[in-house]
Amino acid sequence: MTNNTSNNQEYDAIIVGAGFAGLYQLICLRDQLGLNCLIIETGDDVGGTWYWNRYPGARCDTESHAYSYYFSDELLKEWTWSERYPGHAEIRKYINFVANKFNLKKDILFNEKVINAKFNENSNNWSLATNTGKQFQSKFVIAAVGCLSNTNIPNIKGLDSFEGKYYHTGNWPKTGVSFVNKKVGQIGTGSTGIQAVPVIAAEAKHLTVFQRTANYSIPARNAPLSEEFKDHVKKDHNYYKEFLKRTPNGHPFEISSRLVSDVSTEEMNQIYEKAWEKGGLQFRATFNDLVTNIDANKTASEFIKGKIRQTVTNKKFANILSDIDHPYAGKRPPIDSHYFETFNRDNINLIDLRSNPIMHIDNEGIQTKENHFNLDIIVFATGYDAMTGPLLNMNITGKQNLKLKDCWKEGPQTFLGLQIPGFPNLFTITGPGSPSVLTNMPMAIEQHVEWVRDCISYMSNKNHSSIEADQKSAEKWGDEVNAVANKTLLPTVKHSWYLGANIPGKPQVFMPYAGGLPKYTEVCDEIKNNNYKGFKLA
């Protein structure tokens, strides 16, 4: 990889992060607006979340034909996915294909982490510093740091004394990890843990799964794509381009308009059965009111709990796995490949941390209240300091020495998840307050990146040198984010990472915008068409 920059260079725009967002932002600003740009990236290659997430079973939950950039017809024609859900290695191939096709790597500085970003009021630009001491100046900073990039290893007493190896799934060794003949413990049963369990259990001598909150999961039914489907996607990509933009979560399936109460119990069960067989996230699209009406939701929740009990033959495990305390899809709904079936193996154990919590870790393994588990490897599938963590990690200081961490001590405040009052010329891609994690990410990313491009282009045409979210606009937008979330069941799940509840001490605020990508895009477009109403331009 080329690190072609000398110290203290000046740029029109510095983009932080070389994932889906950062790469497309570089194309928009460098190739379409002709700006002098640089991406600074911590890893030694492109990929963002997929650079770091190489854990066993890591696979995208969005169907491959939708988990793609849609900005280039040529790219859509040139690339062919092989499976219904793309695996992590294939996604890295794709993102490298994009980076090479658009000649992006020459403007990426790899192996450098931004550890400080400070706005200079006198010169109206940003100074950035990296972990190796490099300094940069830039008029604009675009934080394309991802929503789920700040890994969370819980602070469990004694972890340092553990004599085996431990890994977080979001920081998985590039060389892989062998589980052959190993006794493995895995903490965490979110989307990641549910993907990892079947693959680890198939290789390890023994796997103990430590579950704090039982979780729903729908079979993914992953499979190779047929030649007909591959041809169809290439031929009809304009159809998907339009479809993905009009559907609330940017996924390639319709959300039904029918309510649970519109159908008989028999018909409802047939609909659930069919969706279970088809597999994937569209299970939650079977009825319109699953995420807004608790009674409707209960029917889906009970259906899935029934499936778990039917699948898992060990009654104790079946009870622990189906003892779910929140509505289906109230937390991010995982999909899996043989997760529940894996508990029928004879080399697996399941510990319910609610009744038997972890007390400490010692040199040999994990001590819970009731048992000690000797382990060679501990896998932390324990999630992220989501959405705000990656931004706060950059130690951002805005106008009048305003620290982002102070501004956000009660929770994030943004206008549209795109800008923060007091931090001029800093844009956040899929920031808190935007649809982001509630959508198919590439769709949300393309919308944000293009909005930022159009905004910078407008500023240049009108000779503006600074843009900043207005405080009142941000407050009003925060109210809207809350109001929309409160129409759903999502904020009722008090242990959800959408609220920051997984990180001790983190302010509990519902972070993503739940009104859907089309509605959100309409709001952003209206603001753009009104000369960036709600932002201060100077």
The rounded distance, in Å, linking the Cα atoms of 489 and 479 is: 17
**Using alpha carbons only, what angle is made at residue 441 by residues 272 and 100, rounded to the nearest 5 degrees?**
130
190 contacts ligand NAP (rule: CB under 6 A): yes
148 contacts ligand NAP (rule: CB under 6 A): yes
Residues 6+ apart with CB under 8 A from 464: 458, 537, 538
DSSP 451: H
The rounded distance, in Å, linking the Cα atoms of 424 and 466 is: 6
What are 470's two structure tokens?
């207005």
For ligand NAP, the closer CB: 192 or 247: 192
Residue from 47, 193, 442, 491 touching ligand NAP (CB under 6 A): that is 193
Q: How far is the CB of 188 from ligand NAP (least distance, A)?
A: 3
Cα–Cα nearest to 520, from 459, 453, 448: 448
Q: How far is the CB of 127 from ligand NAP (least distance, A)?
A: 32
Q: How far is the CB of 128 from ligand NAP (least distance, A)?
A: 27
Residue from 188, 280, 417, 435 touching ligand NAP (CB under 6 A): that is 188
Size of the chain in residues? 538
Q: How far is the CB of 88 from ligand NAP (least distance, A)?
A: 9
Q: Which stretch binds ligand NAP (CB under 6 A): 15-23, 121-129, 477-485, 495-503?
A: 495-503
Q: How far is the CB of 377 from ligand NAP (least distance, A)?
A: 17
Residue from 187, 275, 308, 361 touching ligand NAP (CB under 6 A): that is 187
497 contacts ligand NAP (rule: CB under 6 A): yes
502 contacts ligand NAP (rule: CB under 6 A): yes
For ligand NAP, the closer CB: 104 or 148: 148
456-485 binders of ligand NAP (CB under 6 A): none
User: Per-residue string for binding with ligand NAP, 387-426, x by CB under 6 A?
Assistant: ----------------------------------------
515 contacts ligand NAP (rule: CB under 6 A): no
Q: Which stretch binds ligand NAP (CB under 6 A): 2-10, 102-110, 303-311, 494-502?
A: 494-502
User: Are 184 and 377 in contact, with CB atoms under 8 Å apart?
Assistant: yes
H-assigned helices in 27-64: 49-52
User: Are 163 and 365 in contact, with CB atoms under 8 Å apart?
Assistant: no
The rounded distance, in Å, linking the Cα atoms of 490 and 502 is: 15
Residue from 57, 185, 365, 383 touching ligand NAP (CB under 6 A): that is 383
DSSP 159: G
Q: How far is the CB of 170 from ligand NAP (least distance, A)?
A: 6
447 contacts ligand NAP (rule: CB under 6 A): no
DSSP 276: H
What is the residue-wise DSSP string for 296-357? Answer: HHHHHHHHHHHHHHHH--SHHHHHHHH---S-TTTSPPPEESSHHHHTTSTTEEEEETTTS-
Residue from 437, 481, 490, 499 touching ligand NAP (CB under 6 A): that is 437
| Chain centroid offset of residue 332 CA | 10
The rounded distance, in Å, linking the Cα atoms of 349 and 214 is: 15
500 contacts ligand NAP (rule: CB under 6 A): no
Residue from 27, 46, 60, 200 touching ligand NAP (CB under 6 A): that is 60
Positions touching ligand NAP (CB under 6 A) are: 59-61, 148, 154, 187-193, 195, 212-213, 332, 353, 381-384, 437, 495, 497, 502
